[in-house]
Structure 1
């Protein structure tokens, strides 16, 4: 399978977090400029083997500034809906609760003059681990201005929040509280994730949602492609502490973007990002940006 095919498949992580796709850091730094012309229609159309039916989009790029009713399967509605997914992960995600976008049912965009553009959406959100799905209403405002602030989101998915993961989270917390670990490549070179490492993969998706929510605009569509490396650090203040090196895929530009994340997690406090570090495309270059104390 070609590298461009692997990069294309990374977008499916937005609808199924277990998709067996690996993008190595060495290959991922390659610049790819081709604009995609298809998107997965629903989460049910993807499986762990990477087989997927896709809905073909029009060859010409749809105007991202369209107003009024939107095609649920085209980029403007999909971009806004994925922002809702990242928002829910930052608020409620854990090693045993990961939200994915199942389907966009309808969308409407409205120009709000100086304040930005508002998207009103009817979507189905799925908890990947339990496979439970709920239809939710959401509102996303992409603000105007330079520098552009992160999107403002309002969404409520009460039924999904009723899923009880406390026992699993507490057990995993106690198991890892007094140990350190180093793990590379989730998924590994064969697209496999050891069951014992699945909570680390889920935690990477949740933590990377903080970046993707902050970086999202009307011109991006982010998914996490791979956890390249995980290092567990010494536990502080009863919080598990992790250093993650992750690869994000922007489906629109086809860029693979490298980030380092320093964050803590506990069942009581959830994910708390301490530092986000944007890495250069070249592994031999210096770091170009450091953003600290974002929470």
Structure 2
């Protein structure tokens, strides 16, 4: 017998906190102060939607056909979303999970468990959607490994965003010292229009972490970009420092990660470094300016 739990998932995987966001205690001047952001209830962003997920009282790994609205199928589908963002995401292209139509799971010898899914993927910015087939293999072993994903949603890549990306790229290169933002979204769920490309870049970079960290026992969603700054670039790729907050919805933990990544229209997003930061309760609270 299952219990019904109402989750708020960002359709991008990534867009806004499912149930919380973070209010700055003081202006952040660098990536090291933001881990102390204080969670509070807030309004939801426009890119959020309600997704009802029925979670069994006992988390038993099922084989065979899965209920598409239950936790195991939704968890595997969320990994597909993160995978697509790491492969094709950009400041003007973000992928979200719209619906899981069907799913099944099987044990694969000593390799792990493989999920077969039919799902509708949503490209949020262009408001396009496509039904895709995907496979997700969660490897088995003592050391956690990233899930292996196969998915093809070519119809969602047909919208040409080259001119938008090139214009933003030139804008960032021209004004490097001015490119930074913090608390995306803010405590009211708002993001200034000029900061949305930075929010989207933070989402795509965070998808690399969520893809790496996702297991059969986790469900990651983007909560907030605490701060993001464009660094001095040494080549054609723009380099960013980013502190991002992820919501692990099973444990209800907010997990802090420091990322360094590059972006260019030709090469896309590539994460150079990722480091998990201490939990908030292990950090000292920053002084208030009030």
- Smaller-chain TM-score bracket: 0.7 to 0.9
Residue aligning to 1:57: 54
Per the TM alignment, residue 23 of structure 1 is displaced from its structure 2 partner at its CA by 2.6
Q: 1:171-250 counterparts in 2 under 5 A?
A: 171-178=167-174, 179-180=176-177, 181-250=179-248
Q: 1:58 to 1:213 in 2, by over 3 A?
A: closer
Query: Structure 1 residue 119 and structure 2 residue 115: aligned?
Result: yes
Residue aligning to 2:38: 27
Query: Structure 1 residue 265 and structure 2 residue 263: aligned?
Result: yes
Cα deviation 1:63-113 (Å, max 9, x = unaligned)? 2x1111111111100110011111111111100000000100000000112
Residue aligning to 1:95: 91
List gaps (5 residues or longer) in structure 1.
1-7, 30-45, 287-295
Give distance in 2, aligned partners of 1:259 and 1:16.
14
The answer to whether the 8 Å contact 2:134/2:150 transfers is yes
Q: 1:39-50 counterparts in 2 under 5 A?
A: 48=46
The answer to whether the 8 Å contact 1:23/1:226 transfers is yes
The secondary structure found in structure 2 opposite 1:23 is strand
Q: 1:133 to 1:13 in 2, by over 3 A?
A: closer
Q: 1:250 to 1:284 in 2, by over 3 A?
A: closer
Residue aligning to 1:72: 68
List gaps (5 residues or longer) in structure 2.
1-6, 24-35, 285-290
Per the TM alignment, residue 222 of structure 1 is displaced from its structure 2 partner at its CA by 0.4
Structure with greater strand percent: 2
The secondary structure found in structure 2 opposite 1:214 is helix
Give distance in 1, aligned partners of 2:91 and 2:180.
17
Residue aligning to 2:103: 107
Q: 1:157-168 counterparts in 2 under 5 A?
A: 157-168=153-164
Q: CA RMSD in A?
A: 2.5
Q: 1:253 to 1:16 in 2, by over 3 A?
A: closer
Residue aligning to 2:125: 129
The answer to whether the 8 Å contact 1:16/1:128 transfers is no
The secondary structure found in structure 1 opposite 2:233 is strand
Runs of 4+ displaced beyond 4 Å:
13-16, 18-21, 283-286
- Give the number of equivalent residue pairs: 261
Per the TM alignment, residue 145 of structure 1 is displaced from its structure 2 partner at its CA by 0.7
Residue aligning to 2:276: 278
The secondary structure found in structure 2 opposite 1:258 is strand
Per the TM alignment, residue 140 of structure 1 is displaced from its structure 2 partner at its CA by 0.4
Give distance in 1, aligned partners of 2:206 and 2:51.
25
Query: Structure 1 residue 143 and structure 2 residue 136: aligned?
Result: no
**TM-score (norm. length: structure 2):** 0.83
Per the TM alignment, residue 283 of structure 1 is displaced from its structure 2 partner at its CA by 7.4
Give distance in 2, aligned partners of 1:234 and 1:197.
19
Per the TM alignment, residue 57 of structure 1 is displaced from its structure 2 partner at its CA by 2.2
